[in-house]
Structure 1
Amino acid sequence: MVTSRSLPKDLIARVDDLVDADTVRLVDLFKDIHRNPELGFEEIRTARLIEKALQNLGFDVTKGIGKTGIAATFRNGPGPVVMYRADMDANAVREETGLDYASTVTASREDGTQVPVGHMCGHDAHVTWLIGMANALVAVRDEWSGTVVLIGQPAEELITGAQAMLDDGLYNFIPTPDVLIGLHTAPGPVGMVINPPGTRMAGTDQVDVHFHGVGGHGSMPHKAKDPVRMAAQAALDFTSLVPRTVEPNATAVVSVGSIQAGTDNNVIPSEALVKVNLRWFEPHVREALLGGIRTASESIARAAGMGDDELPDLVLKGASPPLVNTPDLAEAMSASLREIIGAENVVTDMPAVTGSEDAHMLRGPHTDLPFNYLLVGVAAPEVFLDALSRGELVPYYPHNPNYVVDLAAIGFGTKIAAYSVLGLLDPR
């Protein structure tokens, strides 16, 4: 099993000097990606930036895996194959940070609706860290032996991007890895890394519930079977499922993110769509929630007078099991990082969160592949401390319109990525 090793001080110094010398370029790159966010499976420009940067460094690059995904391989002698993943997509969130490089981008959905787009989860930093880390690794290739596989993954926010790459034959283009790791931004202070072993994030499901009805004139609701009312009732019932179907000592979340129906004030539409998100840690909890959604949906439709052939359609879109850090790997990587950034800056005791990811799904058929996922602080320390003084845990959360990656985190995150990968490769 691949494990993380301590890095010699001269190699750490080389990495630090390389990243420091590259920071102006990386900050400019980060700002460029931030200004030009792209939604899941639309990351054409972002993927092209990764492709060009890695080709210039001598990586063997395959593009278009899972529509917009990138897989790049750098072989540097015998040794372990280390796979590192960064996600590329942005959120349908209007940015409110006021930064001079803030996004003003809008995009069209498949249904024709226009939505704002912003990097409110830090994936712009993830791409920048990957490119900066690749530059450092190639520059110190005389210090390590093995193979590095870098993944630019689409559509993490949809929880479908990793599976799309697998379905498109990812492992036809890369060697089988010995270990898989990834980094994500976190609203802790710059300089901190969070890396507990074991279960870290919840499993998730994205569920669309499509209600059928009978449309009609707004003045004659008694002649219609109103799907808007069904959808509204469903939203209330779904968000009541957890306390009624899940045991009190289990953790679960049901959220309704969108209700879509109709266009005109005076027209009762014939259909409505409710978009639901689940979070869970235990498979039986997932099954209880999915069963509850189906039962509630069908009951609501029947009560509205819909027949057996007119009951709601449930579509499961993206899904991912809980994210679990391989304990031995997480502990070894934390030990290595403590030697570099100080024990006080490596947090290994923190409860799991109900956020979700699909990075670990890139294991595909290699289900026993050791995996570790680190969180890197990106909030300005003074902003973080100000939040603490107000009794808040963090200054902002992912997907918030005011989510900010402090520019000092660009160099820091790049170094953490480089240290992490180097620690998993063989020394020369």
Structure 2
Amino acid sequence: MPSITETVSSHRPDLKSYEELYKWFHAHPELSFQEEATATAIVKHLETFNAYEIHASIGGHGVAAVLKNGAGKTVLLRADIDALPVEERTGLQYASTKSMKDLEGVEKKVMHACGHDMHITALLAAAETLVKAKETWSGTLILVFQPAEERAGGAQAMVDGGLYDRVPIPDIVVGAHVMPERAGVIGTKRGLIASAADSFQLNIQGRQAHASTPHRGIDPIVQAASTVTRLQTIVAREVDPLDFAVVTVSAFHAGDAENIIPEEANLKLNIRTARPETRDHVLKSVRTIIDAEAAASSNPNQPTLTATTRFPFLFNDDDVTAALEKSFAEYFKLGKESYQSDIARLQGSEDFGILATAVGKPSCFFLYGGVDPEVYDKAEKEGKMKELPGNHSPFFAPVIQPTLMKGVDGYIVAALTFLGKGE
């Protein structure tokens, strides 16, 4: 049988058409749970292969496709498809100019600021390759195009929406993400690959008063400001420096007129941790500080902390990752600018793992770079790495090549690692 390298090189399609498809997805982003046109375009492209059993509208706009190709393992490859409420500032010819109303009815500029457009395109190109290479592998391939990753709801929505009633339960689940690493880099990591993330809305009720008579009111701004400052002491003074945690207050809205102490303050919090016990401790401390600052402000109103999104920990299975280490090292070759077997952990969070844990199966999430090599090398040389746009930046735009090819090949090599004949 041909090697994985021979299979990919002889069956991967010309990616020029996929570069144009990527530009279309980039220019037509859609917010979480509203990815209707994106899903329609995915289904339309899958239908051109005349090979996949396609299932649409799972858990919203989720799409799954199945290719049964004889006896063997069942492998699920996943790409996420939603975009973010970010106004694009890349200056690209194919930049998004789109606006949408979010789920709260507020009009927002929309951008693929996290690279999900690259994920979609890479998985579609991998899907075509694996159809053309059917004679080289055996088993069942499942493709999942998942909505609403950014709101930590899409994977669970697909499971709850009957994903595994429509497609076989996989033996192995594989996902991927483009990162602000040097384009050409691809990597795996055993164990924790993405932190847990818990987000909340915090409402602090005060008592409105004239700015000249603060003694008649309860100032929610002062209470909120003290709360924000005190929350930063959790990581600084309660978490082991060898551990990991981040507490972020990402929004603070209060008041309208300069001569009125407002009635309330509304904040948004995001907490990230890497260990279950640390997560429990940090979340408990957040609640303690919020309540204590209310008491210190002589405010009888209990602040309301409402959970919004909850991303689970994401762990790469040792056995699955070990198998990918072997095939990735052989195909991509080990090196600082190619394959890294201990790549830096994803600093964000992911709901991808739910597709595996929901059915008690192992998974692996690999990462690949998207920064133009010349830009990356220049920033590294000049000590300006912090200035490189990362995921969720209005300037985040992966260089199309070699990023796309790396993502495509990563999906293909991962599938063939477990579906190769004789596996």
- Equivalent residue in structure 2 for 1:176, among 166, 169, 177: 169
- Equivalent residue in structure 1 for 2:110, among 102, 111, 117: 117
* Matched positions, count: 417
Partner of 1:206: 199
Q: What TM-score, normalized to structure 1?
A: 0.90
The CA distance in 2 between the partners of 1:393 and 1:7, in whole Å, is: 38
Is 1:7 the counterpart of 2:7? The answer is no
Pairwise CA RMSD = 2.3
Contact 2:245–2:274 (CA<8 Å) still a contact in 1?
yes
Contact 1:379–1:405 (CA<8 Å) still a contact in 2?
yes
Partner of 1:340: 331
Partner of 2:126: 133
Gaps of 5+ in 2: none
The CA distance in 2 between the partners of 1:343 and 1:242, in whole Å, is: 36
Contact 2:78–2:144 (CA<8 Å) still a contact in 1?
yes
Is 1:401 the counterpart of 2:394? The answer is yes
Tell me, what secondary structure is at the counterpart of 1:377? strand
The CA distance in 2 between the partners of 1:268 and 1:166, in whole Å, is: 47
- Equivalent residue in structure 2 for 1:371, among 350, 363, 366: 363
Partner of 2:307: 316
Report % sequence identity. Answer: 33
Runs of 4+ in 1 over 6 A off after TM superposition: none
Gaps of 5+ in 1: none
Deviates more, 1:153-162 or 1:275-284: 153-162
Structure 1 residue 290: Cα displacement:
1.0
Is 1:413 the counterpart of 2:404? The answer is no
The CA distance in 2 between the partners of 1:162 and 1:72, in whole Å, is: 15
The CA distance in 2 between the partners of 1:219 and 1:153, in whole Å, is: 54
Deviates more, 1:54-63 or 1:396-405: 54-63
What is the one-letter code of the residue matched to 2:38? T
Distance 1:116 1:333, change over 3 A: same
Is 1:290 the counterpart of 2:283? The answer is yes
Distance 1:274 1:9, change over 3 A: closer
What is the one-letter code of the residue matched to 1:256? V
Tell me, what secondary structure is at the counterpart of 1:288? helix
Structure 1 residue 297: Cα displacement:
1.3
What is the one-letter code of the residue matched to 1:139? K
The CA distance in 1 between the partners of 2:103 and 2:261, in whole Å, is: 23
Aligned ranges 1:10-409 → 2 under 5 Å: 10-16=6-12, 18=13, 21=14, 23-57=15-49, 58-218=51-211, 220-307=213-300, 310-344=301-335, 345-367=338-360, 369-393=361-385, 395-408=388-401, 409=403
The CA distance in 1 between the partners of 2:376 and 2:317, in whole Å, is: 29
Deviates more, 1:6-15 or 1:268-277: 6-15
What is the one-letter code of the residue matched to 1:377? G
Contact 1:95–1:401 (CA<8 Å) still a contact in 2?
yes
Tell me, what secondary structure is at the counterpart of 1:89? coil
**Deviations 1:81-119 (CA, angstroms, capped at 9, x unpaired):** 111111111222222211111122233334444333211
Distance 1:303 1:327, change over 3 A: same
Distance 1:296 1:257, change over 3 A: same
The CA distance in 1 between the partners of 2:148 and 2:375, in whole Å, is: 30
Structure 1 residue 313: Cα displacement:
1.8
What is the one-letter code of the residue matched to 1:427? K
What is the one-letter code of the residue matched to 1:12? V
Q: What TM-score, normalized to structure 2?
A: 0.91
Distance 1:351 1:377, change over 3 A: closer
Contact 1:279–1:354 (CA<8 Å) still a contact in 2?
no
Tell me, what secondary structure is at the counterpart of 1:239? helix
Contact 2:8–2:129 (CA<8 Å) still a contact in 1?
no
Contact 1:186–1:378 (CA<8 Å) still a contact in 2?
yes
Structure 1 residue 264: Cα displacement:
4.6
Distance 1:101 1:13, change over 3 A: same
**Deviations 1:307-339 (CA, angstroms, capped at 9, x unpaired):** 3xx312222222233221112221221221222
Deviates more, 1:25-34 or 1:354-363: 354-363
The CA distance in 1 between the partners of 2:3 and 2:244, in whole Å, is: 39
Contact 1:216–1:224 (CA<8 Å) still a contact in 2?
yes
The CA distance in 1 between the partners of 2:370 and 2:250, in whole Å, is: 27
What is the one-letter code of the residue matched to 1:381? P
Distance 1:62 1:261, change over 3 A: farther
**Deviations 1:233-271 (CA, angstroms, capped at 9, x unpaired):** 222222222123222322111111112334454554433
The CA distance in 1 between the partners of 2:208 and 2:188, in whole Å, is: 53
The CA distance in 2 between the partners of 1:253 and 1:227, in whole Å, is: 24
